[in-house]
Amino acid sequence: MRNPLADKVVDIKPSGIRKFFDIVSEMEDAISLGVGEPDFDTPWHIRAEGINSLEKGKTFYTSNSGLIELRREICNYMKRRQGITYDPAHEVLITVGGSEAIDIGLRAMLNPGDEVLIPQPSYVSYEPCAVLAGGTPVIINLKAENEFRLTAKELEDAITDRTKVLILPFPNNPTGAIMERKDLEAIAEIVIKHDIFVMSDEIYSELTYKEEHVSIASLPGMQERTVVINGFSKAYAMTGWRLGYACGPRVILEQMTKIHQFAIMCAPTTSQYAAVDALRNGDEDIRMMRDSYNQRRRFLMNAFRQMGLECFEPYGAFYVFPCIKEFGMTSDEFATRFLEEEKVAAVPGTAFGDCGEGFLRISYAYSLEKLKIAIGRLEHFVKRLRAEQGR
């Protein structure tokens, strides 16, 4: 029989998270610091709106781009939060999670051999999606000493005449890093100078703990060359609803909509109705959740300080990214032993790129009570490792 598989797909290496997932699911009493989704339930008024839409029989396809009232609410939201004006008819597309938008955005923009700049550590899907879209991923290794922000120099050094798209994943999963206005202005200058495009994944935009999130698309000259990706999963605790969106220039959005139309048809109708309510009435829920995350973030930073574990202060998302280089182990070894000896699952930094070596992603999408237990175990583990090393 012939090989039924496509080389391009077979060559993609499986997610580094998979191995840990398999070990954890065998363990009965393990606790986890490894999730990438909120611990809150979707606020009730949003769920009620989803239920209400089902009761009213809203169970058909929506238009390919998504419900027009949802696209209008997204435009209102972008205007009120970022000061950017989008046309709901042509510049917004509702997708199945932000993930779909990443995939079809790259497919819409890349020609074979076009280079995609991917700062890492970052979310696991940019690189495979770029490959599947026929592009060539070019990794930019972000540095702890820059608090894992992308600098203009790092960007310019990576640009070649084949560079087409820069992926800008901030606030960042897994590091928790943010890019502030001044950082983005420096990036925008280089982007415009070299005439490249930006895919700005802003799925964690509501979860910042320093200044309000700034979208690079709001900077002068950037809206026309930026596709903003956002969604409902993180801000409104709606991961299972699978709903995201892309906003950007009409020329790109039209092509993305074409792929979406043929591959997906439309995003889930129930989720779209619920999302309309989220945007209209969810600001207070976001504030409440953000306050909780911030309290936990401070708790973790304080705990790391007390146990002498090196960690830059992250101001976004719900992750901290402590450095474990002092123990002379790889991230993978550290995470494996932490899991086996203390029964706590955390994700090795290398799952998000080679430059995550020496770091661990710890999620604080858990109640303070649970974090206290898990961090107690981390402290115990760290002490034991230091004792082993005669320190």
Partner 1 sequence: MREELLTIIEKNSRIDLKELAVILGVEEIDIVNEIAAMEAEGVICGYHTLINWDKTSVDKVTALIEVRVTPQKGQGFDIIAEKIYRYPEVRSVYLISGGYDLMVILEGKTLREVSTFVSEKLSALDTVISTATHFILKKYKDHGTVFKTKSDDEREMITP
Residues engaged in binding partner 1 (CB under 8 A) = 15, 17, 20-21, 24-25, 30, 32, 34-37, 39, 123-125, 173, 291, 295-296, 298-299, 302, 345, 347, 351, 368
Is residue 176 within 8 Å of residue 316, measured between CB atoms? Answer: yes
Residue closest to 299 by CA, chosen among 320, 323, 317, 285: 320
By beta-carbon proximity to partner 1, the closer residue of 66 and 316 is 316
Give which of 374, 312, 337 is closest to 174, Cα–Cα: 312
Q: What would you measure as the largest C-alpha separation in the chain, in angstroms?
A: 68
Q: Determine how β-strand 197-201 pairs with β-strand 163-168.
A: parallel
Residue with smaller CB distance to partner 1, 41 or 212: 41
Question: Which value, to the nearest 10 degrees, does the dihedral of the CA atoms of residues 46, 104, 176, 321 take?
Answer: 120
Nearer to partner 1, 298 or 383 (CB): 298
**Least distance (Å) between residue 14 CB and partner 1:** 12
Min dist CB 330 to partner 1, Å, is: 18
Q: Minimum distance from CB of 351 to partner 1 (Å)?
A: 7
Give the β-pairing of 115-120 and 163-168. parallel
Name residue 141's beta-bridge partners: 120
The 10 Å Cβ neighbour count of residue 85 is 10
Residue 275 CB, shortest distance to partner 1, in Å, is 21
Residue pair 260/93 in contact by the 8 Å Cβ criterion: yes
Tell me which H or E stretch contains 105: helix 97-109
Q: How far is the CB of 199 from partner 1 (least distance, A)?
A: 18
Q: Between residues 12 and 17, which has the closer beta carbon with respect to partner 1?
A: 17
Q: In this structure, are residues 237 and 289 in contact, taking their beta carbons and an 8 Å threshold?
A: yes
Q: How far is the CB of 34 from partner 1 (least distance, A)?
A: 4
For the bound state, the minimum distance from the C-beta of residue 30 to partner 1, rounded and expressed in Å, comes to 7
Which residue, 21 or 89, has its beta carbon nearer to partner 1? 21
DSSP alpha helix (H) spans, 110-267:
126-132, 152-158, 181-193, 250-263
* Strand-strand pairing, 92-95 and 115-120: unpaired
Nearer to partner 1 among residue 123 and residue 273 (C-beta): 123
Which is closer to partner 1, CB of 122 or CB of 270?
A: 122
Q: Which is nearer to partner 1, 160 or 302 (CB)?
A: 302
Say if CB 247 and CB 78 are below 8 A apart. Answer: yes
Residue 98 C-beta: closest distance to partner 1, Å: 12
Residue 3, class by beta-carbon neighbours within 10 Å (0-12 exposed, 13-18 middle, 19+ buried)?
A: exposed
- In the complex with partner 1, which residue's Cβ is closer, 18 or 182? 18
| 235 CB-side CA count, 13 A | 24
CB of 112 to partner 1, least distance (A): 27
Q: Which two tokens stand for residue 165?
A: 């798209």
Give the Cα separation of 209 and 201 in Å (integer). 18
Task: Report the run of H or E that residue 53 belongs to, with start and end.
Answer: helix 44-55
Q: Is the peptide bond before 4 cis (omega within 30 degrees of 0)?
A: no
CB of 382 to partner 1, least distance (A): 19
CB-wise, 274 or 347, nearer to partner 1?
A: 347
Q: Least Å distance between CB 17 and partner 1?
A: 5
The residue (of 35 and 192) whose beta carbon lies closer to partner 1 is: 35
In whole angstroms, what is the distance from residue 86 CA to residue 91 CA? 6
354 secondary structure, DSSP code? G
